[in-house]
Every structure is written in structure tokens, then in C-alpha cells.
Copies of this chain bind each other. A is one copy, B any other.
Amino acid sequence: MRKVLIIGAGRSSSSLVKYLLEKSDVENLKIIIVDIVLENAQKLAKNHINATIFELDIFDIDSRKAVIMNSDIVISMLPARFHIEVAKDCVEYRKSLVTASYVSKELMALNKEVVAKGLIFMNEIGVDPGIDHMSAMQVIDRIKNQGGKMILFESFTGGLVAPESDNNLWNYKFTWNPRNVVLAGQGGVAKFIQEGKYKYIPYHKLFRRTELLTIKDYGKFEAMANRDSLKYREIYGLEDVLTMYRGTIRRVGFTRAWNVFVQLGMTDDSFIMEGSENMSYRDFTNSFLAYSLHDSVELKLRHYLKIDQDDTLWSKLIELDIFNADKKIGLKDATPAQMLQQILLKSWTLDKDDKDMIVMYHKFGYELDGKKKQIESNMVVIGEDQAYTAMAKTVGLPVAIAAIKILNGEIKTPGVQLPIRKEVYEPILKELENYGIHFKEKEVPYLGYNSFNFGA
């Protein structure tokens, strides 16, 4: 039996393990699941006959090297910063490696050795990054093969709550790391290119410069720009493209309300608030408003940010109870971002039966035979339950499929890489369709960059 080693059995490994175990007989696989908490591995293995589990602290070098040496391929589901140690062992013991994380410089530096040894280190093969790369490259390559010239590429992804579980005014719940949601967009200007012009959006305007999208049967969405829209320009072979924009999807109305937190300064993670442990929700809100002996926190906020009392945005704030003087946040020495996260967790935590949803949307503009054309494609995946979420499926399945295809020699080009080659994306996207992960594609009139394009 071929031994597939999975390091890290957290929530995002559920669908990955399930898929591999389902394929274990026909593919002749032994699935070795290791985690620093044995129970995590146990939960996923479910006593399957082809599963073996170990407790492993990856900083215990001898044990780590032993399990890697004793495997045929390695899947690292560790936090991204830990991949490099695993990767070095993989080079040493000549094992291929699959991760869903952004490829780091350190990892890329191993490329020469990886190629020399004929290994495949496949990275960014989750959902975003991952399915976005594959689904985009499939269309881009097709357009180029037809003799088309790419002029526009826009790509949007979002992790949201499924429509059937969508019961708050924000149309949003935390379906992944809440801290990343609160800090989204921070750390530098958002940069992209529109019709040949470089454009820059500072953080405090990011949530007011959104794009609108419509997906049949799912309604309207909005997207705010990522910081790194141009990151894949060369990797995708889109050096000459006039418009390139990547963004994060929310339901319409989310960013307009989130902007209130940004404007107030509640998403700031750079300083500790005085007396945070004793602050009520109302105190927290009031910290960002001018002092007044007579005016209410409510009126001060409305006046400061010019919010009408009958604005739907106001109802969103009320729903979060941010003016409650009795509820304590209860965090000591906390930053505003940590305080806000705590408030949001009370409202945006998934209920036991809630399902999540992953939405992806691409726009491809191109010239063919002197005509401008546009293709739009989208993917919507709904989670099964809280174990097999849309997030876990869309992250884990491409990883699992890639591992098997590498083992089977179907994916064979060696090197530290992303899934942008036809050899990789074609078979994986095909297999993903069997699991309900597929793109709907349509031709639309070429619109170019048009802020009034509702995706219609």
C-alpha cells in the first residue's frame, strides 16, 4: 500500500481525509494522520481500516523525520509558517509534498533541489488560493489556444453563510478565522489595474470602493479589492492585461456597514485600550466618539458618520448591540480589533445546524478576431454540515486529488509549483465536478471595467 502522510488534522482536513479514505481501497492507500492532539486525528480517521494515527509534535525532529521517511507522499495542513521544516525533510527523504498554503520564498528556494530529485511540491491547491488558480487558468489557456488575447481578468472569492442559514442582517457569519475577517484589508494599500491605469485604495476607503456581482439563483454580492490583485499577473501570463482585479466577496450591504467600524477605528489592532476589561459594548463604541456631556452615544455616532436613523445600516449596528451599557466585553489588555471580534462572535458564530457557502466569480475579457468578448464563470459550494463545510471541501478535495494524481504519476512535472499547468488543473477540476464543485460559465457582451455592471 502507498502511504499518504497527512500532517495536521484540524477542521480543514475533514474532507481531505474523508476523500482519501474513500479512495483508499481502490487506490491501495494507507492514510497516516498525525496531529499534536491525537484526538483530532482520531476524529477524522474514524477507525477506518486503512487509517493509522499518531500523535506528533512537528518540533520533535526525530519523530517528524521518521514519519516523513516512512511515507510515499506528504500533505502538510499545518499553519503556513511550519511548512518549511516539513519541506526540508521531504527533500532529504525524496518525498513529494502538497499544501494548500501560499508558497513562501523559503519554499521556493528549494526548487532547484526539488527538480533535481524529480519531486513535486504542489502549493496553493486549496480553494483561494487553489481552485481560483485552476479555474482561471483553464479558461485563460483556452482563450489563448483559440488565438484570443486576454485584456481583462477579475476574480472574486468569499466564504459566507449558506442561504438556508442566513438569518442575520449582515448576511454574514464567521465560517473561518474571525481574526482574519476583522483585520481583512489592513497592512497596506490595495493596488490593482483598470483599463491600463494603476489604482490605489487606502484601507479606510476599501469598504466603499466595491464591485457588485449577481449570481443566478443566489442573488447579489459585493466584493472589495484584495491588496495583492497584481500578484499573479506574471504567473497567469497576463502581463499585458489592461484590467486585473481580485477581491473578496460579501453579501450586498456588508461592506457599507463594516465601514462604520473602520471609520470609528474599531478594527485597529495596533494598540491596547485603557481599561478594556471593564468596558461595556457601549463604552467601547463611545471610545471612538468625541466627549459630550449631553448627547447620547447613538446620536454622536449618527452625526459623526452621517447615518440616518432609518438607514438599514443602523439596524445592523443595533443587531450587534453595540450600544448596550450592561454587556461587558470582558477582555483584558485588548486591542480594538480583539474587542470588536468578541462582540461579533456573539452574533456571527454559526449555529449547530448552520451551513457555510463558498462563492467564486471570474470575469475574463479578451479580443478574438478583432472582437472584444467576455466570459464570466462562477462556482457556489454549500457545506454539508459543520464537519464537512464548504470551506473544508473546497480546500481539502483539491489537495487530496492532487496527492493521488502525483502518486499515480498523472501529475509529473517536478518542482515547487502552483496548480497553473493543464496537467494539474484539468484532471483535478474534472474530479472536483464529481463532488459538486463546478463552474457555470457564460458568454456576455464585453463590458470592460464598468462599475455599473451588475453582472447582468
- Decide: A198 near B274, CB < 8 A? Known: A263-B205, A290-B451, A449-B291: yes
**Would you call A198 and B273 a contact (CB within 8 A)?**
yes
Q: Mask for A191-212, Cβ within 8 A of B = 1, else 0?
A: 1001101111111110001000
Q: Tell me if A271 counts as interface (CB < 8 A to partner B).
A: yes
Q: Tell me if A188 counts as interface (CB < 8 A to partner B).
A: yes
Identify the closest chain B residue to A193 (Cβ): B274
**Would you call B291 and A200 a contact (CB within 8 A)?**
no
Q: Interface size (A, Cβ < 8 Å)?
A: 37
**Would you call A286 and B200 a contact (CB within 8 A)?**
no
**Would you call A451 and B265 a contact (CB within 8 A)?**
no
**Would you call A200 and B270 a contact (CB within 8 A)?**
no
Q: Tell me if A298 counts as interface (CB < 8 A to partner B).
A: no
Contacts of A274 in B (CB 8 A): 198
Within 272-294 of A, Cβ neighbours of B (below 8 Å) are at 273-275, 286-293
Secondary structure dominating the interface of A = loop
- Which of B204, B291, B293, B449 meets A263, CB within 8 Å? B204
Q: Tell me if A189 counts as interface (CB < 8 A to partner B).
A: yes
Q: Which 9 A-B pairs have the closest CB atoms?
A: A202-B265, A194-B291, A204-B204, A198-B274, A291-B449, A195-B291, A189-B271, A200-B287, A200-B265
Identify the closest chain B residue to A279 (Cβ): B198
- Decide: A265 near B198, CB < 8 A? Known: A270-B189, A271-B191, A451-B290: no
Q: Tell me if A268 counts as interface (CB < 8 A to partner B).
A: yes
**Would you call A202 and B268 a contact (CB within 8 A)?**
yes
What are 9 inter-chain pairs, A to B, with CB distance below 8 A? A195-B291, A197-B287, A197-B291, A199-B287, A199-B288, A205-B265, A290-B451, A292-B451, A293-B448
Q: Tell me if A247 counts as interface (CB < 8 A to partner B).
A: no
Q: Tell me if A336 counts as interface (CB < 8 A to partner B).
A: yes
Extra pairs beyond A189-B265, A197-B286, A198-B275 (19, CB < 8 Å): A188-B271, A189-B268, A194-B291, A198-B273, A198-B287, A199-B287, A199-B291, A200-B265, A200-B287, A200-B288, A200-B336, A202-B204, A202-B264, A202-B288, A204-B204, A205-B264, A205-B265, A291-B451, A293-B450
Least Cβ distance of A340 to chain B in Å? Answer: 13
* Alpha-carbon distance between A264 and B199 when the two chains are bound, in angstroms: 11
Identify the closest chain B residue to A208 (Cβ): B304
Least Cβ distance of A211 to chain B in Å? Answer: 10
**Copies per complex of this chain:** 2
* Alpha-carbon distance between A270 and B451 when the two chains are bound, in angstroms: 28
**Would you call B209 and A290 a contact (CB within 8 A)?**
yes
* Alpha-carbon distance between A303 and B263 when the two chains are bound, in angstroms: 19
Q: Mask for A161-188, Cβ within 8 A of B = 1, else 0?
A: 0000000000000000000000000001
Least Cβ distance of A154 to chain B in Å? Answer: 12
Identify the closest chain B residue to A295 (Cβ): B451
Least Cβ distance of A47 to chain B in Å? Answer: 53
* Alpha-carbon distance between A273 and B288 when the two chains are bound, in angstroms: 32
Contacts of A263 in B (CB 8 A): 202, 204-205
Least Cβ distance of A236 to chain B in Å? Answer: 18
Identify the closest chain B residue to A191 (Cβ): B271
* Alpha-carbon distance between A286 and B193 when the two chains are bound, in angstroms: 12
* Alpha-carbon distance between A122 and B191 when the two chains are bound, in angstroms: 47
* Alpha-carbon distance between A197 and B291 when the two chains are bound, in angstroms: 8
Contacts of A271 in B (CB 8 A): 188-189, 191, 200
Contacts of A191 in B (CB 8 A): 271
Least Cβ distance of A297 to chain B in Å? Answer: 11
* Alpha-carbon distance between A451 and B303 when the two chains are bound, in angstroms: 14
